[in-house]
Amino acid sequence: MRRLEGRRAIVTGGGSGIGRASAIRFAREGASVLVVGRAANTLETVDLIRAEEGKALGMVTDAAVEANVEAMVQRCVTDLGGLEIFFANIGVTGTNTPLLEQTVEEWEEVYRINVISCFLAIKYAGRHMTAQRHGSIILTSSAASLRANAGAISYSASKAAVNNLAQTAANAFAGTGVRVNAVLPGLVETQLTRKVFEDARARGIEGKLGHVTPMKRPGRAEEIAAAAAFLASDDSSYVDGQLLSVDGGVSSTHPYGRIAL
Amino acid sequence: MNGRLQNRVCVVTGAARGIGLAIADRFGREGARIACVDISARRLQPTVAELVSRGFDARAFGVDVGRRGDVHATFGAIETEFGAPVAVLVNNAVWARFQPLAEIDVDTVDRMFACGADGLIWTMQAAAPQMERRGGGSIINLSSVSASHPAKDSIAYSALKAGVVGLTRAAAMELSPKRIRVNAIAPGMIGTPASIAQFDKATIVERRAQMPLGRFGEPEEIAGVAAFLASDDSSYVQGALITADGGWTVAAK
């Protein structure tokens, strides 16, 4: 089913991982996609979409900077003809420095990229979408927003802030027809988590990755993209302000063991 | 074009009307073969006839889901009739009455829990071995925002629907090694006659004003969520609860 036919979407963090998979999925569902990322691989995603007859544009920029977010919304409206979907997906992991030695500088950078980027997406996509009285904004959160020991502390706290933004922004947009939801991935191999996977492979324990989840495996970027496509589409038309866990069950059950990050 | 549930045998309980009917219809459009289950075979007939007229492979099975032996026999009959094991189970059937604590009686509580709690255990018990034989499956249980945000006179209903969340998570843990996913949906105010009848007019106006989306949901909007959870699009979603309430429960009132 092509559920996003004729719609225009911005996907940030689109050069790799969940963002790339989502941009490709949205295009396969019929959307025209503005793929945004900081690195040159952003344009490779555009090429991948065009190679399968999809419609995409690329923009290499930092999606946590206010002027850039304003510009990407403008570009999407001007060059793709509108904006119905914004997937705010950029993020950094923070470091696993012991808590007592962490710095304000590190926290500020994690919050800038993980939280302020979502605020800016909501602000500028929201201006456009509330005026047209429909739209879907999707924020990438994490299972780490709900549970300790699933990521760095600054990362976990920042993702909890993202959850709250999904709820408070949904409420702020009451009566406008604009929906805001968050998707909460568990462990997925992406640029952010590559080191975890590489370390596990080097130690010969790749099979242990994701073993704390009831599904006993890590997720794939395409599985998060499918959930994002659900939230982007009218199939979720009555879902608003929600936190959708896509984590193999790790957040809904007690831990099976400790996560080795 | 193949749908996301192409040729999969999907069981929907409480399929005669409302949300169950919307789910059965949506699954049909996704290519599913639908086993429509309801306590009343007679009430099912026009529903199934309508689904068949839309070109779907839909069949009727009358059973009281609260009766373990009958449920097992029905699931055996479903597999025999379709010639394939069950791939998807939607536990939507419910029997509910709303009474103050001071007045609620044994028969009401027993009947509500027999259908809405015991019934889920028996259908999951009967479906899981079939799903395991075909290499996996998806179970979807209908909870409610009443689980966390009780409405007036909903002492039994809230307990029932909170129980659905617990048994969903427990079943997710237990059935995950068999590649069976178990998730729940918590609808908010859906504009079916049964749910509208539950509230007085002032409550309905107040509720609507409290929802960010400013309107009651349609059964088809719950069917959209169910289609996601039934399909491989939710292949990494396990033990989750998806609330579809127009944003009603996100705000302090």
pLDDT band for position A259 (cuts 50, 70, 90):
very low
| Cα–Cα distance measured from residue B143 to residue B191, given in angstroms and rounded to the nearest whole number | 16
In tens, the pLDDT along B104-140 reads 999 999 999 999 999 999 999 999 999 999 999 999 9
Q: What is the pLDDT of residue A40?
A: 94
CB B225 within 8 A of CB B184: no
| Cα–Cα distance measured from residue A27 to residue A25, given in angstroms and rounded to the nearest whole number | 5
In tens, the pLDDT along A93-137 reads 998 899 999 999 999 999 999 999 999 999 999 999 999 999 999
Residues of B with CB under 8 A from a CB of A: 1, 3-4, 30, 169, 172-173, 176-177, 187-188, 211-214, 217-218, 221-222, 224-225, 227-228, 232-247, 249-251
**Nearest in space to B55 (alpha carbons), one of B26, B28, B35:** B28
Mutate to test the interface with B, among A168, A239, A247 (most CBs of B within 10 A): A239
Q: What is the pLDDT of residue A191?
A: 83
Which residues from chain A sit within 8 angstroms of residue B30, using beta carbons? 1
Which residues from chain B sit within 8 angstroms of residue A253, using beta carbons? 169, 172-173, 239
- How near does any CA of chain A get to the CA of B77, in Å? 30
Q: What is the pLDDT of residue B192?
A: 82
Maximum Cα interatomic distance, chain A, rounded to a whole number of Å: 54
For the cut 70, the answer to whether the pLDDT of residue A139 exceeds it is: yes
pLDDT band for position B21 (cuts 50, 70, 90):
very high
pLDDT band for position B1 (cuts 50, 70, 90):
low
Mutate to test the interface with A, among B23, B208, B213, B215 (most CBs of A within 10 A): B213
Burial classification of residue A105, based on how many CB atoms lie within 10 Å of its CB (0-12 exposed, 13-18 middle, 19 or more buried): exposed
| Interface contact flag, A242 B176, Cβ < 8 Å | no
On whether ipTM exceeds 0.90, the answer is yes
Residues 6+ away with beta carbon under 8 Å from A50: A56
For the cut 80, the answer to whether the pLDDT of residue A74 exceeds it is: yes
| Cα–Cα distance measured from residue A152 to residue A193, given in angstroms and rounded to the nearest whole number | 12
Q: Which of residues A257 and A112 earns the better pLDDT score?
A: A112
CB B90 within 8 A of CB B226: yes
Which residues from chain B sit within 8 angstroms of residue A237, using beta carbons? 221, 224
Q: Which pTM value belongs to this model?
A: 0.95
Which residues from chain B sit within 8 angstroms of residue A213, using beta carbons? 238
For the cut 60, the answer to whether the pLDDT of residue A212 exceeds it is: yes
| Cα–Cα distance measured from residue B111 to residue B133, given in angstroms and rounded to the nearest whole number | 32
Which residues from chain A sit within 8 angstroms of residue B169, using beta carbons? 252-253
Q: Give the end-to-end CA distance of chain B in Å, rounded to a whole number.
A: 46
For the cut 80, the answer to whether the pLDDT of residue B49 exceeds it is: yes
- What percent of chain A is predicted at pLDDT more than 90? 84
- How near does any CA of chain A get to the CA of B187, in Å? 9
Output the average pLDDT for chain B. Answer: 95
- Phi and psi angles of residue B127, each rounded to the nearest 5 degrees, phi first: -80, -35
A239: left (phi > 0), else alpha (psi -120 to 50), else beta? beta
CB pairs under 8 A between A and B: 131
In tens, the pLDDT along A28-41 reads 999 999 999 999 99
In tens, the pLDDT along A3-20 reads 999 999 999 999 999 999
- How near does any CA of chain A get to the CA of B250, in Å? 6
- How near does any CA of chain A get to the CA of B89, in Å? 19
For the cut 90, the answer to whether the pLDDT of residue B151 exceeds it is: no
- What percent of chain B is predicted at pLDDT more than 70? 99
Task: Please name the member of B1, B236, B250 whose beta carbon is closest to the beta carbon of A247.
Answer: B236
